Each structure stands twice: as C-alpha cells, then as structure tokens.
C-alpha cells in the first residue's frame, strides 16, 4: 500500500476528509519548501503537493504563474526538488505529490524520473497537461515504481472519459471544480457536489476537489461532498506576501484555519 | 525520395492525432471534450457538400482565390535557375495566407453554435484574418497578442480594432507569440462552453494541426493545377518559410508524393551560434509545448527557451508536429536564414520582381539567394509568397538604410 492509499484509509476510519495543500517548490526558496513540509505536517495537513515550476504553465492563473517565475529565477529544477523531498523524507511521513507539467518530466526521461521519484520518497505525481489518452508508457513506469499517477477530471468530461480517467488514476482522482485555470475565486463551483457523486459511482478511489477553493468556508463546503480538498493559489499568494514569517508561523496563521474547516 | 516512399503521408495523422512520435493531445482535461467536439464537427463538415461549397464561395468571393502563380524571371536569373514561380498568397484579402484557415474555422464555429472566438497572434496577420472573418460573420472576437508584438506591429493592432475586435495585451513571459498562445489557452479553458479557439498555425493539440493544414492545402492544390497548365508535373523544389508552419505545409501537402524536394526555411535570428533564433527544427529537441509533442527550443531541464526573429510571425520556440515528422523521415529538409538574410531577401525580391514580401516570407528568398550554388540551371523552384510586406515597412525602414 502506498503512503497515499494508507493516508486515505486512515482518514476513512476516522471519518475525516483530507486537506491537501499545494505550494510551488522553490518559492521563496527550496530551504523554505523543506521547512514548510515539516510545519504543514505538524499543523495536521494530510497530503502535500509540490508544484514543479515550468516556463509555460498554461493551466495556471496569475498567482502560480508568478510563483513559478520566481522559483525558476532562483534556479529551481526538478532534480533539486526531488533532492528536497529526499531530505525531508528522513523526518516526515507526510504523503507528497509532485505537480509538474509533462515537459520537465520528459526532459529528465520518464524512466529516470519514476525511479528518482520513488527513491526520493515522492508518493504521487499530478500532470495537468497529460490526459490518460497519451503516454501510456509513463503510466506503466510510474506503476512499476509504485508512484501514484493521479489523473484529473473536469466538469466538461463526458461519462466515457470519466470511466477512462478513474480507471487510469491511482491514489485518488483529482476533480477540477470549475472550467478555468488555477486561482482565487469569489465563489466556488456550485455543481461540484452533483459531479463528484457521479464520479464516486464509478470508482472506489477517493475523489479530491481543487481549483478555485480559496477560503476556509469554501473548503468546508467542498469537504462535505468530496474526500479531500486541495488548496493552492490562496496559500501561494499568502506565502508570497509573508515570506518573512517562519514556516511554523505561516502554517499556524494561514493553514490552521483550513485544517479546522476540513477536519471539523 | 526512396527511403520515404513507403510512408503514406496522406493518411496522417492517425486516428489519435499522431504523426509518428509527434502530435497528440496534451491539454488540461477540461479541453479534451471540446477537442473531440471540434474533430467531430470538422469531419462532418468535410464530407458535407454544403460546407465545401460555402468554404469555396468565401475563398473565391471574399478572400480572392485562386491566387496567381507568378513567374519571377529576374529573380530566377539572379539564382541561375530555369524557373522560379511565386504562389501569390500576398494578394489575398488581408495580405497573407492566414485568411484561408480563418474562413474555414469561422464556418466551423458557426456550425458548432459557439458565440465567441479567440485567437493568438504574433505578427498580427492571423489576428487580422480572424478579426476580419468575425466581422464578416458577426462573431464576437478577442485576440491575444504579446505586449512586445503590439509595439512592433502597431498597424495590425489598429486594423483589428477597426474590425471590431478586442486586442488583449499579454504581459506574461516573453510577451510574444508563445505567451499569447498560453493566454489564449487559459481563456479557452475558462470559456470553453461558448468559445471556439481559432489557432492560426499547424500547431496545438489534435485536431488543430490537421484542420489548419487541410484548410491551407488549397495553396498546394492550386499550385499543382497551375503548374500542370504550364506543362510542369512537379517542380524540383518547393520552398517556404516555417514558423509554426502553416503556409509551408499548405504548399508541401500537395507535393508529398511527388519528386519535389521540400525545403522549409526557419528564422535563424542573429545566428544559430547565438541563443537568439527561432530555428526549432535545426536546434530543438523533442518535447511538449502548447498541447502537442513536437520539436521545441528548450534547456536541459525542459524549460522552454525564448525565441528571437526580426519577424514577429516566426518568433516562436515550437513548430507543427507534422513538420517534425517530415524532418525525421527525411521527406522535407529544414534550413534557416538570419535576420540579415531576410532583409537581403526582401530587398532583392522587391527590386527584381516589384513585389515586397512580408519579413516572414523574406526568409525563404534570403535563403535562396545565400545558397544559390546548390540550385542548378535546369531546375524549377516554387516559393510560397505567404504574405505582403506592408505591415513591416515601419520596422524595416529603421534597419534598412536606403
């Protein structure tokens, strides 16, 4: 059983939903990223997504675009992020997923990447520009290394695609709550509940919801219908504005309200 | 071309949009259904005589097709070859080949019942061609354009505005064509339910490279028929400039089975030894950019590099997947011409033939002039004159001192 599967099993027993937190790796620094892993785990975050910065993040809104640029300017690479996870793994059991566009993975070589992910203690990978229709060998390589490749489902996915995606996905299914890029929205999607229950009919996998969920009250609403809630841009934005805070203080101030909302 | 004889290029892409190892659909899941819908709409339209009639009608009566095949006697003499023919896409309405594709895709937009169109543009030619058909068919239109390109193509920005289109400046990244495509895709992901994205080149996820090629293939088909009337079965060379690669593929697609040698000319910018060029097929490597797998300019970590060219239309670090495949199989050859070569090409064609080509197109002429020893006295060359140079005069006047 992978660390991700194990986490969801535990949560199910405790009748709790998962809080998944996204930050862009290397923003403001890789050292801070490592500290945030520890601080988030201590604060009660269930899973963590580390964004691998890419020059052309076409599924991301302005907040994560800006974080990616800052991170790239500091020289962040996929290899350096893997090294950070490896270091953090010595002290942390928090399930960690990398969220990366496909090209940096192809540049490293999918096989080398899958092996390095496993040996560094990365538990899963999310690739926003990779639908299950492409790169079946990448999927096989990840399975071989027991790294969960999580596929995304959208409100526009047809039933046929839904079936195909849940079948291909491992760890959990990432439901994109609205048509759009990542980013803070005033109000969260309204049809998510209906769509998530339709997905849950097709698969025993946990279904987690992300994109546009930016405050604890939205998170609480979403956690009522999904198995997990993913918070990204709003924390990336907060981090950019409070980079002087220690990882612990940041987690206490900005992450704790989400933990409370989702675990309530 | 004995080694490529076995490949039936006319059957490409395969049903999943692949050209050998290239092509495919690498987009956020939100867009996958829209791509299927577009493919379905296109396949139905293609076999519908009513659609074909309508498309031909607008190509003829609105865009001005067929375009002439002009013999360039003096230019041929300069090169020392038997004949040079110019396929005159520069004479089309709006001044470039881009209108062929935008008419086709606007008709598809109407068939799909979408209310709004978005597009990206570099030099502004595709933006103007999209704004034009949207005005014609009464469709709301927004065009994304890099801030840097807005500044170097002020005339085209004004044309789009006059046609009723909103030009949205893109301030992210390099502020050129690459980032305009990113921004257009982000818009499409958000508004996919009522919006059609008219991509302007043979790039992007399947089915775009196929659709744009097919709509542009009128260039090659007419050229083939016009040559036949002149008693020429196949030219020795077909030459065209390549950015994303739509005018070149429009010409090449007819001649893939012929004996003609196909030459695509990329922009070498300030030189291939510098990092300021757009020669994707010469110096790129396999990767995924803007929804398809092709050759891209990237660093060893898979980050996309900035391209450079004096012509905004070629200033792009990717290239259409079919071109990547034509190169890999050896069916087409890809070469490059620098900014200076292009200016030379523009000057020579203007003075020998009385035709001022667009800076993009000028790369093809620049290459021919610089490499004239490779062409022989008995040979026949067809060049796709993809656009006219009016839009570039302000910029060129600053660097070409006459």
Residues in B touching A108 (Cβ below 8 Å): 301-302
Distance CA A33, CA A73 (A): 16
β-bridge mates for residue B117, sequence order: B141, B196
A130 φ, ψ to 5°?
Answer: -125, 95
Q: In what order do the strands lie in the sheet with B140-146?
A: B166-170, B140-146, B116-121, B195-197
Q: Are A231 and A218 in contact (CB under 8 A)?
A: no
Closest chain A C-alpha to B379 CA, distance in angstroms = 42
- Asked if the C-beta of A182 comes within 8 angstroms of chain B's C-beta atoms, the answer is no
**Nearest by Cα to B124 from B148, B160, B78:** B160
Q: Residue A188 pLDDT > 70, yes or no?
A: no
Instruction: Kindly list the residues from chain A whose CB atom is less than 8 angstroms away from the CB atom of residue B290.
Output: 56, 58
ipTM value: 0.96
C-beta separation of B106 from B65 below 8 A: no
Report the alpha-carbon distance of residue B238 to residue B260 in Å, rounded: 7
Contact with chain A for residue B277, Cβ under 8 A: no
Q: What is d(CA B80, CA B377) in angstroms, rounded to the nearest whole number?
A: 6
**What is the torsional sign of CA A200, A203, A206, A208?**
negative
CA quadruple B153, B156, B160, B161: dihedral, nearest 10 = 70
Question: Is B301 touching A (CB cutoff 8 A)?
Answer: yes
- Would you tell me how many other CB atoms lie within 10 Å of the CB of residue A89? 18
Q: Looking at A5, A43, A60, A227, which residue is catalytic? A: A60
Strands B380-385 and B285-289: unpaired
What pLDDT, on the 0 to 100 scale, is given for residue B2? Answer: 44
- A176 contact residues in B (CB cutoff 8 A): 28-30
Which secondary-structure segment (H or E) carries B75? helix B73-79
Q: Are strands B18-19 and B22-23 parallel, antiparallel or unpaired?
A: antiparallel
Residues of A in contact with B296 (CB under 8 A): 103
Q: Are B297 and B103 in contact (CB under 8 A)?
A: no
* Binding-face residues of B in 60-119 toward A, CB within 8 A: none
Task: Label residue A1 by pLDDT band (50, 70, 90).
Answer: confident
Q: Taking a C-beta distance cutoff of 8 angstroms, is the pair B201, B105 a contact?
A: no
User: Do B28 and A165 lie within an 8 Å CB cutoff?
Assistant: no
Phi first, then psi: what are they for B166, rounded to 5°? -90, 125
Terminus-to-terminus CA distance in chain A, angstroms?
A: 27
Q: Is B371 strand, coil or helix?
A: coil
Q: Which of A106, A128, A130 sits opposite B302 (nearest CB)?
A: A106
Q: What secondary structure, in 3-state letters, does B171-204 show?
A: CCCCCCHHHHHHHHHHHHHHHCCCEEECCCCCCC
Q: Among B28, B170, B287, which would you mutate to test the A interface (most chain A Cβ atoms within 10 Å of its Cβ)?
A: B28
Query: With contacts defined as CB-CB under 8 Å, which chain A residues touch B31?
Result: 156
| A136: three-class secondary structure by DSSP | helix
Inter-CA distances, B27 with A66, A72, A73, B32, B123, Å: 21, 22, 25, 7, 25
* Inter-CA distances, B222 with A170, B87, B90, B258, Å: 52, 9, 15, 15
Residues of chain A with C-beta less than 8 angstroms from the C-beta of B300: 107
Interface contact B190-A102, CB threshold 8 A: no
Mark whether A46 is an active-site residue: no
Residue from A62, A156, A211 to probe the interface with B (highest B Cβ count within 10 Å) = A156
Tokens of B182: 């990113």
- Which helix (H) or strand (E) is B71 found in, with range? strand B69-71
The residue from B25, B89, B114, B120 that is catalytic is: B120
| Contact flag A56-B29 (C-beta cutoff 8 Å) | no
Among residues A5, A41, A43, A49, the one annotated as catalytic is: A49
Residuewise pLDDT in 10s, chain B (402 residues):
445 667 889 899 999 999 999 999 999 999 999 999 999 999 999 999 999 999 999 999 999 999 999 999 999 999 999 999 999 999 999 999 999 999 999 999 999 999 999 999 998 999 999 999 999 999 999 999 999 899 888 899 999 999 999 999 999 888 889 999 999 999 999 999 999 999 999 999 999 999 999 999 999 999 999 999 999 999 999 999 999 999 999 999 999 999 999 999 999 999 999 999 999 999 999 999 999 999 999 999 999 999 999 998 899 999 999 999 999 999 999 999 999 999 999 999 999 999 999 999 999 999 999 999 999 999 999 999 999 999 999 899 999 988
Counted residue by residue, chain A has a size of 264
A26, A70, A98, A131: which to substitute to probe chain B, counting the most B Cβ within 10 Å? A131
User: Has A49 been annotated as catalytic?
Assistant: yes
């Amino acid at each position: 059983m992978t660390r991700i599967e194990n986490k969801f099993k535990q949560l199910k027993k405790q009748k709790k939903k998962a809080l998944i937190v996204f930050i862009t790796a290397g923003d403001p620094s890789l050292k801070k990223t490592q500290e945030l892993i520890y601080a988030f785990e201590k604060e009660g975050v269930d899973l963590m997504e580390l964004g691998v910065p890419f020059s052309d993040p076409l599924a991301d809104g302005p907040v994560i675009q800006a974080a990616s640029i800052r991170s790239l300017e500091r020289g962040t690479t996929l290899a350096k992020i893997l090294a950070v996870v490896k270091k953090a793994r010595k002290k942390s059991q928090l399930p960690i997923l990398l969220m990366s566009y496909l090209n940096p993975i192809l540049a490293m070589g999918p096989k080398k990447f899958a092996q390095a992910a496993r040996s560094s203690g990365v538990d899963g990978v999310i690739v926003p520009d990779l639908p299950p229709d492409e790169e079946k060998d990448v999927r096989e390589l990840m399975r071989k290394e027991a790294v969960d490749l999580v596929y995304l489902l959208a409100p526009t996915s047809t039933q046929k695609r839904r079936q195909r995606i849940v079948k291909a996905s491992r760890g959990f299914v990432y439901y994109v709550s609205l048509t759009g890029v990542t980013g803070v929205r005033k109000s969260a999607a309204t049809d998510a509940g209906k769509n998530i229950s339709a997905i849950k009919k097709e698969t025993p996998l946990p279904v987690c919801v992300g994109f546009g969920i930016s405050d604890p009250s939205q998170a609480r609403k979403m956690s009522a219908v999904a198995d997990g809630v993913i918070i990204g841009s709003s924390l990336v934005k907060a981090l950019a504005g409070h980079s002087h805070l220690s990882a612990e203080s940041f987690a206490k101030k900005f992450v704790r309200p989400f933990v409370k909302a989702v675990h309530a | 071309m004995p080694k490529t004889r076995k490949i039936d290029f006319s059957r490409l892409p395969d049903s999943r949009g692949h050209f050998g190892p290239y092509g495919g659909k690498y987009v956020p899941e939100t867009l996958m259904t829209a791509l299927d819908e577009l493919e379905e709409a296109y396949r139905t339209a293609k076999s519908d005589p009513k659609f074909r009639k309508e498309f031909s009608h607008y190509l003829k009566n609105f865009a001005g097709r067929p375009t002439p095949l002009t013999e360039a006697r003096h230019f041929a003499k300069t090169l020392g070859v038997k004949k040079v023919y110019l396929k005159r896409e520069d004479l089309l309405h709006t001044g470039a080949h881009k209108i062929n594709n935008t008419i086709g895709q606007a008709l598809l937009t109407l068939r799909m019942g979408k209310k709004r169109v978005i597009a990206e543009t570099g030099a502004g030619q595709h933006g103007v061609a999209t704004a034009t058909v949207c005005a014609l068919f009464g469709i709301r239109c927004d065009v994304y354009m890099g801030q840097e390109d807005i500044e170097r193509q002020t005339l085209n920005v004004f044309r789009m505005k006059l046609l009723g289109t909103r030009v949205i400046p893109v301030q992210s990244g390099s502020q050129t064509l690459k980032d305009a495509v990113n921004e257009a895709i982000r818009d499409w992901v958000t508004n996919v339910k009522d919006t059609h994205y008219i991509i302007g080149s043979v790039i992007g996820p399947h089915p775009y490279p196929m659709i744009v090629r097919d709509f542009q293939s009128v260039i090659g088909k007419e050229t083939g028929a016009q040559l036949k009337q002149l008693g020429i079965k196949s030219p020795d060379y077909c030459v065209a400039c390549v950015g994303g690669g739509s005018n070149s593929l429009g010409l090449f697609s007819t001649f893939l089975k012929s004996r003609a040698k196909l030459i695509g000319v990329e922009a070498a910018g300030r030189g291939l030894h510098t990092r300021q060029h757009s020669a994707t097929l010469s110096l790129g490597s396999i990767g995924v950019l803007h929804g398809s797998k092709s050759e891209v300019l990237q660093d060893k970590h898979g980050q996309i590099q900035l391209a450079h060219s004096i012509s905004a239309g070629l200033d792009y670090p990717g290239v259409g997947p079919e071109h990547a495949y034509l190169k890999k199989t050896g069916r087409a050859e890809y070469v490059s011409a620098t900014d200076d070569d292009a200016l030379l090409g523009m000057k020579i064609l203007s003075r020998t033939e009385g035709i001022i080509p667009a800076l993009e197109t000028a790369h093809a002429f620049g290459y021919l002039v610089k490499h004239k020893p490779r062409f022989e006295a008995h040979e026949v060359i067809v060049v796709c004159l993809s656009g006219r140079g009016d839009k570039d005069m302000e910029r060129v006047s600053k660097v070409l001192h006459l």
